[in-house]
Amino acid sequence: AAIDDATSFNPDTLVRGVLFGDPTVDTIQGRLQRVVTQGFAGAGSITRLFQIGIRVGENDRLEFDEERFREVYANSPTSVEDLFVQADTGLGAVLQETIDAMTRDFDGVLARKDQLLSDQQEGLNDRIDSLSTLLASKRKRLEAQFANLESTMAALQDQQGSLSVLSQLQ
């Protein structure tokens, strides 16, 4: 639900979630979905989660068929357990490895996204500084032009006053 909210877009109001269109979310969802749908070695005859009643359903939500799970577990409890806990190849190990790869500090998906956002923020801050300098110089130039126009207007008004006086003398 949190991912749905963050990646949503409402075409009526044009309101979009903060992560709308962000490929990082798709990458993470795709990797997690592959873990859930892949085969697992070393668990005997049960190699996929759908065999025990776990599958990806509507809107990429995990669905659990408890009846199917109980039936398979009753027939092959060791295979079901191995599917989850088999060292290196069970769901637990594969899921842990996948999450670790996405969250590693130096090259994980999230670390790379964080670095990208930091670089973008730095670039935007540099742009803001540059525009602020440019605006300050334009403001100074416009203020100088305004002051010149004011003094020119004052001189013209003095001349107009003098001309009025001269025209009245004649």
The confidence band for 139, taking pLDDT boundaries of 50, 70 and 90, is very high
Question: What mean pLDDT comes out for the span 130-141?
Answer: 97
**Angle subtended at Cα 84 by Cα 78 and Cα 85, rounded to the nearest 5 degrees:** 80
* Residues 6+ away with beta carbon under 8 Å from 154: none
117 pLDDT higher than 80: yes
Write the CB contacts of 5 (distance below 8 Å, at least 6 apart in sequence). 17
Q: How far is CA 117 from CA 28, 59, 107, 123, in A?
A: 17, 28, 15, 10
How much is the mean pLDDT over the chain? 90
pLDDT band at 83 (very low <50, low <70, confident <90, very high): very high
Specify whether the CB–CB gap between 33 and 48 falls below 8 A.
no
Kindly give the residue spans of alpha helices, DSSP state H, lying in 60-107.
66-75, 77-85, 91-103
Measure the CA–CA gap between 160 and 152, rounded to whole angstroms.
Answer: 12
Residue 62 forms beta bridges with which residues? 56
Give the sign of the dihedral formed by CA 60, CA 65, CA 70, CA 76: negative
pLDDT tens-digit readout, 26-41: 898 889 999 999 988 8
| Cβ(39)–Cβ(48) below 8 Å | yes
- pLDDT category of residue 43 using cuts at 50, 70 and 90: low
* Cβ proximity of 88 and 95 under 8 Å: no
Place of tokens 């670390």: 111
